[in-house]
């Protein structure tokens, strides 16, 4: 990682890493997987609400595995 840029992501500002972020992505994935056991299971009403977005098979997998339909696997640390 070379540094950080202030970038607008939707309606907020974020510090977005620049350069090679592979080590940061690996670290973030390890943190998420290590702490996942402490995540509260998603309720059936919440699952139903999130599925209204007509998820792809990959998004459905992420929703079940990590509690959200996107993950660091598909997005990494990039500006959007």
Residue-level pLDDT at 20? 93
Query: How many CA atoms does the CB half-sphere of 78 hold within 13 Å?
Result: 8
Residue-level pLDDT at 72? 61
Residue-level pLDDT at 80? 39
Over the Cα atoms of the chain, what is R_g?
Answer: 15
Per-residue pLDDT of the chain in tens (80 residues, 90 and over written 9): 899 999 998 899 999 999 999 899 889 889 988 998 898 888 999 888 888 888 889 888 888 888 877 766 555 554 33
Residue-level pLDDT at 78? 47
What tokens appear for 8 in the block? 């607008």
Look up the pTM and report it. 0.61
> Are the C-beta atoms of 16 and 29 separated by less than 8 Å?
no
């Amino acid at each position: 990682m070379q540094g950080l840029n202030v970038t607008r992501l939707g309606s907020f500002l974020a510090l977005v890493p620049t350069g090679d972020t592979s080590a940061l992505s690996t670290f973030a994935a390890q943190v998420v997987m290590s702490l996942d056991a402490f995540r509260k299971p998603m309720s059936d009403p919440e699952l139903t609400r999130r599925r209204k977005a007509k998820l792809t098979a990959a998004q459905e997998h992420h929703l079940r595995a990590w509690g959200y339909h996107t993950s660091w696997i598909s997005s990494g640390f990039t500006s959007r």
